[in-house]
Structures are given as structure tokens and as C-alpha cells.
Structure 1
């Protein structure tokens, strides 16, 4: 038996002689064959392990680039951002469990991200959801200003993705307006009506009306006359005199002792009496003018927001046979009030005494045209419903003013 080297590094056995041996020779030949096979497998295993180890070592050694190969360019910001997103992706949507290979879930639309939410992310999501101004803003503001009822018809018709949603439009414009109003409040009062609030001392604070060249106005105090038991003669008391302009005044003497609340509930009467007197003392103290104006500005958005569903309810009543849902009337209400705040904000920014007095006229004309365009009725029917709507809405405004007064002087 000879062990001959194979080209592949293994071994194989060959017999010398042409005839097998008898007895022991045949048994010896079988043993030699098994031994050769075992040696062959052993050398083959070690040879394979050596080749694999050398290949792995060669792979760890950096290979030089070919001379004619292009140098890889640096990653752009978009590519880096895509790499970060790819590292944060989850194989399934964390919201609905759908397989999600891309950045957004194909089932629910949620962004495919697995990292923990930070405060920055939370604030950014809130701003993006409610106050983001994107390319939709000019496409929405121009029709809102110059095409009454257009945005409402587009939204009801289903063309919604190209415009800002009605509620987001209203929130953004109203917040912007009240920010502008708070910034220019002192200028507005000084320039438009020269509004000042003065605190007078003494029990003999005059309750008279100044005459001017145009007209004479007299405003009686809505509160009950002073209580003699609580207002002894000669007592030093405080009052509030509200003066509008140099050509006239609106004297309103308010004393905490003059306030008397009677609701039929003694506990509620004591609570309201205590709250109102505390507010009057606060507003008649030094710096009370600024606090009064600031409190009214803070409570005004709440009262106006309550008018939105009331306005939509009135439209629902007047157009109950149109088959429209209440939500469609609410969309009309959101767009109309957004127009009001937008025009008032523009007039406030211009700070012109010529524009501000004309804004109510513009609002009334806009409302009539918008009703014609949205509800598609004749001008006579629209005029009748328009008049009834104005009457009902004026009553609602009175209640909103009462609400502002309650929020200002009670809460």
C-alpha cells in the first residue's frame, strides 16, 4: 500500500500487485484502506480551516483602490438623514403592527421611528399640528379674503389637502390677532379713542357728564345706589371714572360698598359679592387700568370661541331643510370668524383710524355674499335669513359680553 499525495492536498491509497493476497493479505488491505481514508479526511479538514483563516485575515487588511476607480463622494445631508432614519426604523409599525419597510406606515400613516420621545419632539409635534404655516397658507388666505364662501365649498366638496383645515386656520389667525392686539393695545386705545381709566379719591367723586361740541351723553350707573349704612358721610372712598377722548367722558363711579348681589342663594351671593369687591378693589388700585385691559384681553378669546357653535346652530336652524350636516355649518362659521380676525389683525397692524371703523361693514357684506355662495339660494331668501341671523347673533354677542364680565370680575 502506498500513500500518494493528491493535488488538492489530500491522500489516496493504491495497491501494488495485480492480484489480492489470500487470508491475512486481504484483511491487511482492508485495514490499510480505512487508515488511508481517515488520514485523508484529517488533512482535508486542516487544509480547509487554514484556507478560511487566511481568507479572513486578507479581508481585514485594507486593500488599496484601483488607480482608475472613482473616489467616493461625501454623503449629503439628505443621505445622512436617511441613514439615521434607516437605523431608527422598525420592521413593523408600532401603532398598528403593519409591516413597514419605509419611513411611514402604509396602513395608518404614522412615522416609522423607534427612538424615545423627547420634550423637543413633543413641542415640535404640537407646533406642527396646530400652528405650522406652510405653502398652504397663501393658497388659503387669499381665497379667504377675496372669495367669500370659496374655502367652505372646497372643503365640503372634498378638495381639502391643498388648503389649511378650517379649525387650524381659525386657531392660527385668532391667536395671531390676539397677540397683535395685546402688543398694540395701548396704542389702539390712545390713537383710536384716547381711552384712559382714572382712579378718583374722595366720597364726593363727581358723577356728571361733560358737554362737548357735538353731543351730550349721560350714562347712569347700573349698580344700586350707595347703602347709607355702608357709606357714611365724609368717608374716604374710591371710584373709577372711565373717560373716552377729550371731547366727552363716560363717568362710572364704582365703590366696593355699592355692590350688592341677590341671586336667591345666600351662599352664592356671598361668594359673588366677595369676588366682585376684590376685583373692584384691584382695578381701582394703582395700575388697575393695565390689569383690567389685560384681563379683558385674556377672557375675550374664550367668549368669542363660544360664539362659533352658536353661529353654526343658527345657520342649522335657518337652513334646516337644506339637508346639510351641522358640521358643514360649523365649517362656514370657522371660515367666517377667521376672516373677521384676519381683517381686524390687518387693520390693527396698519393702525389706521380709517380702516378700523369700516371693518364691521366689510364683515356684514362678506357674510351676505358668503351665504349666497355656499347655500345657493336667491337673494331675497338669503336677505331674510341674513337679517334673522344678525339678530340672533347680536343676542348671542350680548351673552358673550356678560360672559366676559363674569370671567373678568368674578373668576
Structure 2
């Protein structure tokens, strides 16, 4: 064996990811962080997928217990600069919210089906009520005829003129008129619309019968499109589905608004981004709690008082988190937490729900 075969070379190797030159013995590239010997296996493939898209790594496991049992701790440590030890607040929120809406989707399917059933029943009951109204009108005519017959037979004896009989007939009809005959459930003649639908008329013709203008705007056309689907007994489910599909998007607006409210009440306690960090972790906690709650209710019948107790407990978590993070007296924090909760639940959330409902109605 020659001496040359015993000589080992210490030539630097390039990083497979960024091509930076690595010194011997480096396990990770100091420039991009990739392992120097990152052989592709099934395990590596799926770990990287989960880690990159869901951040399900050691940091999540380290962050989970503090998130659930140490209110305000993660936000406090992140502000202090410990940003690699625990999971990033936005990543935590994204991962937990995906799990939450996945679990809620099982309940959503049931609500969509129930909405479709109710919509169909309402549409059919309206048709049935119209049939009953027609029958009542025929019955009333028979009754009126029975009342008028003696008057007509004895017209000469009583001394009634023809004009008197007509007036009596009109008064009796007015008295016996059934207010239920008026079609008050819809803003259009549903009987005519049903006839047009049954005959296969073009939607434009039906829209005109429903009252759509000659040159409708986009919103007006969407309104009549949705009204027609509801009249057919088919549109409620899609509205409910669109509503729930829009919730994740709305949360990206509600969360920054929640942080803005915190900024107003704690204007001298750091920048807006500090309040945003707190909001990310707090909403992650809320989604985690309600994910567990929804998941358990899908498999077990939990008493309603237990559900309410758990929901109310999130307020006390919020109170403790505020005390830890903002370092103010507990009484002042208690007052502020009550006002913040009141404003957010009674004003912000209902407004968001109203906008979501309108958005779902016009876009579904």
C-alpha cells in the first residue's frame, strides 16, 4: 500500500443548500442552517414537511405547556428576546387555528345540512300555506253565499234595492277576509315565481317578476340571485358554508383590532407590535381550548354548564395574562380587562359577524 493512500485530505466542502464553504467538523451550515449531511429519507421528507408548514417541532412542545398554564409568559419572554427557545407567536397562531377550523368543519357540515332542510321546509310550507289560502277563499265564498241567499230570496219583502245587496255582499266579504291570505313572507308573489320556476323560465324573467330593476347593479343582481335560491329551498346551506369559510379570514382582521384595543388601554406599555405578540399567543390559547372543547363534544355529550364554565375560565386566563405581561396593579387590570372584554364581545364581534353574514349572503 502506498503512502499516498494513507493521506487524508482536509479540503473544505460546499454547503448543499447555499454553496457556502464549510469547515471540517461543521454539522450545520452557519449561513443557512441546513445539515451538512442531510441525506434524503422518508423520515426527513415528512419531518421537514410538518416542521416547515406546521412548525410542529421541539419548540412547539416547549411552548405548549406555558401557553396553556402560564398566562402571558410566552409573550413576555418573546418581548425580552427569547425568540428561538419558544415557537414564534404567528407560527403558533397559524398552527393552532388550522387545527381549530379543521375540528369545527365537522360541526359545520351538520349545520349546512340542517340549514338546507329548514330552507326546504320553509319554501314548501309557503307553497302549502298558499294552497290552504286558496281553499279558505273558496270556503269563505260558500259561507258568504249562504248568508246572502236569504237576503236575495226575500229582497222584495224586506225592501232591499240591488245596490243594497251589493253593499251587503261587499261588507260581508270585507269582514270575513282572512289576513293570512296576504303574502307577507316574501317581497314578491311567490306563487308566480314558483310557476315560472316549474315551467323552466329563464332566470332573468324570474328576477324581473321578483322586482329586479332593468339595469341592476352587481349587488342587486347578487341579492336577487340569492333570494331566488332561497325561494327554491336551496340557498341556506351555501350561505352557512360561506359564513364559516370566511371566519379564518376575518380573524386576521379581528386579531390586529384586538391588539389595537390593548394599545389604547396600555398606550405607554410598548409599541403596537408588543400588543400584537400578546394577542397572537392569547388567541392561540383560545383556539386550543375551543379545539379541545369542540373535539370532545363531537364524541361525548358534555353538560352545557361544563362548556360554559370552560368558556368563562378563558376570561380569568386573560386577566392573569394582562397582569403578568403589563405589570399593572391587579385591580386596575381587572377594570381594564372587563372593559376590553365588553367592547370586544358586544361591539367588535357582532359587527364582524354582521359583515360576515352580509359577505356570505352576497358571495356564496
8 Å CA contact 2:27, 2:36 repeated in 1: yes
- Within 1, Cα distance between the matches of 2:83 and 2:190? 69
- Within 2, Cα distance between the matches of 1:235 and 1:162? 68
- Within 1, Cα distance between the matches of 2:33 and 2:303? 49
Tell me the residue number matched to 1:357. Answer: 308
Specify whether residues 142 and 204 from structure 1 end up closer, same or farther in structure 2 by C-alpha distance, changes over 3 A only.
same
Q: Higher relative contact order at CA 8 Å, sep ≥6: structure 1 or structure 2?
A: 2
Tell me the residue number matched to 2:343. Answer: 392
Could you report, residue by residue, the CA deviation over 1:360-411 in whole angstroms, capped at 9, with x for unpaired residues? Answer: 3122222112111111111232123223312332322123213322331223
- Within 1, Cα distance between the matches of 2:358 and 2:190? 31
- Within 2, Cα distance between the matches of 1:109 and 1:260? 65
- Within 1, Cα distance between the matches of 2:209 and 2:27? 67
User: How many angstroms does 1:225 deviate by?
Assistant: 8.4
User: How many angstroms does 1:173 deviate by?
Assistant: 1.0
**Count of aligned residue pairs for this structure pair:** 281
Equivalent of 2:262, from 312, 315, 322?
A: 315
Q: TM-score by structure 2 length?
A: 0.63
User: How many angstroms does 1:183 deviate by?
Assistant: 1.9
Aligned residues: CA RMSD: 4.3
Q: TM-score by structure 1 length?
A: 0.56
Q: Is 2:66 the counterpart of 1:143?
A: yes
Specify whether residues 409 and 319 from structure 1 end up closer, same or farther in structure 2 by C-alpha distance, changes over 3 A only.
same
- Within 2, Cα distance between the matches of 1:282 and 1:184? 23
User: How many angstroms does 1:133 deviate by?
Assistant: 2.0
Q: Is 2:66 the counterpart of 1:109?
A: no
User: How many angstroms does 1:92 deviate by?
Assistant: 5.7
Mapping for residues 89-128 of structure 1, pairs under 5 Å: 91=14, 95=18, 97=20, 99=22, 101=24, 102-110=26-34, 127-128=50-51
Tell me the residue number matched to 1:336. Answer: 282
Higher mean alpha-carbon deviation, 193-202 vs 163-172, is at 193-202
Tell me, which stretches of 5 or more residues in structure 1 are unaligned? 1-54, 60-88, 207-223, 239-254
Q: Which has the larger radius of gyration?
A: 1
Specify whether residues 163 and 299 from structure 1 end up closer, same or farther in structure 2 by C-alpha distance, changes over 3 A only.
same
Equivalent of 2:318, from 367, 380, 388?
A: 367
Between Structure 1 and Structure 2, which shows a larger proportion of strand residues?
Answer: 1
Tell me the residue number matched to 2:334. Answer: 383
Specify whether residues 281 and 124 from structure 1 end up closer, same or farther in structure 2 by C-alpha distance, changes over 3 A only.
farther
- Within 1, Cα distance between the matches of 2:323 and 2:116? 39
